[in-house]
Structure 1
Amino acid sequence: MATEPVVYGASDRPPRGDYSRAGADYTCEQDYAQYTDTDHDTYRRLYERQEALLPGLACDEFIAALPSLGVKSRIPHFEDINERLRKATGWEIVTVPGLIPEVPFFTLLANRKFPVTDWIRTPEEFDYIVEPDVFHDLFGHVPLLFNPVFADFVQRYGQGGLKAHEQGVCEQLSRLYWYTIEFGLIAQADGLRAYGAGILSSSGELTYAVTSAEPQRIKLDLKRVMRTRYKIDTYQQTYFVIDSIDDLLSQTAPDFTPLYDAIKGKPDFVANASLPSDSIYIE
């Protein structure tokens, strides 16, 4: 099969990655020789800035797992991380040139392989980038893959994604990914914290998501999530809150087919919709 580039959201900008080096499953070798001193410095500065923001904003599980990424003064070799990750949870990270289609993505997750983009943003994009880069993928996503419960949830999501593709409901399931793995919040005993990679890798949204009075924070309800649209170019207007990583795994354990049947034909909710049935998180 041809490895065609994937465009992020409604963007008409050509994808940045070199898809010609990807195999049929969209994976390739990490092109470590491509990185310049500027690239390594960008990674270091991004890491140091985010790490300093984590206390009081990131969940305990993420903070505990972050050192497992290893070196932070430069972009790591993926295989160095894999030596530790395989021992911890049986996962590994694999290189991809950028965003990949649904079926290859789900297939990798179902086999405990997490796709990580290997290129990094330019210094001019230090504060914001449209497509996920190596910093977003490594810093945001990989630490929680060292947590056995979260690692099982991500694999289960991949398995569910393959079923969703067969049933034609990938859009509904993608919203669960967005509002949990990318932009999820968790209610710890000492307050609200972030566990979603899109929040944890963003200096602005990390503070906004946890402390701002502007967004809605709703306790996770799967049918509500699957009917809720999301924003790709602004901070989220709605966040969904779980009680624990175990809670997330248990809520997503049953077969989703009855959920898809229950919401079939029902209208979507806009990103900032407020419903009488919402269970609002109050700290």
Structure 2
Amino acid sequence: MFQPDFAEIEKPQPARWQDYLAAQDWHHFTAEEHGVWDTLFARQLPYLGSRIVTPFLEGIPKLSLDRPGIPELGRLNERLETLTGWRCVSVPGLVPDDAFFAMLAERRFPIGNFIRSADNLDYLEEPDCFHDIFGHVPLLAHEPVARLMEAMGRLGVEAVASGQGETISRLYWHTVEFGLARERGEVKILGAGLASSFGEAHFAIEADVPRPRFTLHDAANAAYRSDAFQPLYFVSDSLDCAAHALEALHLDGLKRLSR
């Protein structure tokens, strides 16, 4: 009887980020689902207006995101890749942190292949394509953000592997997802979680809530909420200042931030 030599059996390899991809299957979106996108877009963009950083607004027409209906990723990628080398890839839901950061490191941004229902415009158990595309993609057409996101991907892969995943996640959360930034003296929305949320966009700008100045150390050590509005919102001196600070961060510096 054959006895395997366990010393020679390879250990299971971690899943590649490509293993988490799925077809967008754009033709299967219903008229109602396209209508949900249009409703969310028409409600969100007028409020954001002068309340969001200018490169976000510039990215909308550059990528033809103002066309009706859920964007088809192939058409979107033709424009985005020409501008900054980024591509959107379709996924069926949340992906693990290691795979997520590995995607970013390759200038690939994951897009959920589903959209919220018309009965739950403001409730998300996990990010849908409106959050992913409307919230994130316009700024991926802005080269400083394009570089920042790739750098965070590379650092995130290292951070997760070295036990610093929570630290890099806090930095990402307090900037890319829920950060604010000054622009011409005004505090404006930066993060995708705010850009795509009608309720929290209002709350972050208008409510009596702490808005401390962003520093890498403070953001790396500040808790966040994934189930409610944030207890505070960090304000960067500018979009490009935040991008440069995060792009320049390396693993040793990240470890020092969490001490």
The answer (yes or no) to whether the contact 2:17–2:99 under 8 Å persists in 1 is no
- Distance in 2 (CA, whole Å) between partners of 1:163 and 1:186 is 27
Q: Residues 132-152 of structure 1: CA distance to partner in whole angstroms, max 9, x if unpaired?
A: 001010000000000000110
Relative to structure 1, is the Cα distance of residues 61 and 261 closer, same or farther in structure 2, using a 3 angstrom cutoff?
same
Deviates more, 1:91-100 or 1:127-136: 127-136
1:98 counterpart residue number = 93
The answer (yes or no) to whether the contact 2:177–2:193 under 8 Å persists in 1 is yes
Indicate yes or no: 2:67 matched with 1:72.
Answer: yes
1:18 counterpart residue number = none
How much identity, in percent, do the aligned residues show? 36
Letter in 2 for 1:128: Y
- Distance in 1 (CA, whole Å) between partners of 2:229 and 2:108 is 28
Q: Residues 34-86 of structure 1: CA distance to partner in whole angstroms, max 9, x if unpaired?
A: 21111010111001111111122111111111123325311111011101101
Letter in 2 for 1:60: T
Q: How does 1:12-51 map onto structure 2 within 5 Å?
A: 24-51=18-45
In proportion to residue count, which structure has more helix? Answer: 2
Listed as ranges, the gaps of 5+ residues in structure 1 are 5-21, 265-283
Indicate yes or no: 2:216 matched with 1:226.
Answer: no
Indicate yes or no: 2:138 matched with 1:138.
Answer: no
1:235 counterpart residue number = 229
Listed as ranges, the gaps of 5+ residues in structure 2 are 1-11
SS of the equivalent of 2:50 reads: coil
Relative to structure 1, is the Cα distance of residues 2 and 131 closer, same or farther in structure 2, using a 3 angstrom cutoff?
farther
How far residue 190 of structure 1 moved from its aligned partner, in angstroms, is: 4.2
The answer (yes or no) to whether the contact 2:167–2:258 under 8 Å persists in 1 is no
The answer (yes or no) to whether the contact 1:3–1:23 under 8 Å persists in 2 is no
Letter in 2 for 1:179: H
SS of the equivalent of 2:154 reads: helix
- Distance in 1 (CA, whole Å) between partners of 2:35 and 2:67 is 10
2:180 counterpart residue number = 185
Letter in 1 for 2:160: H
* TM-score w.r.t. length of structure 1: 0.82
* TM-score w.r.t. length of structure 2: 0.89
Deviates more, 1:49-58 or 1:255-264: 255-264
2:6 counterpart residue number = none
2:9 counterpart residue number = none
Deviates more, 1:173-182 or 1:53-62: 53-62
Relative to structure 1, is the Cα distance of residues 28 and 169 closer, same or farther in structure 2, using a 3 angstrom cutoff?
same
The two structures, once aligned, show a CA RMSD in angstroms of: 2.0
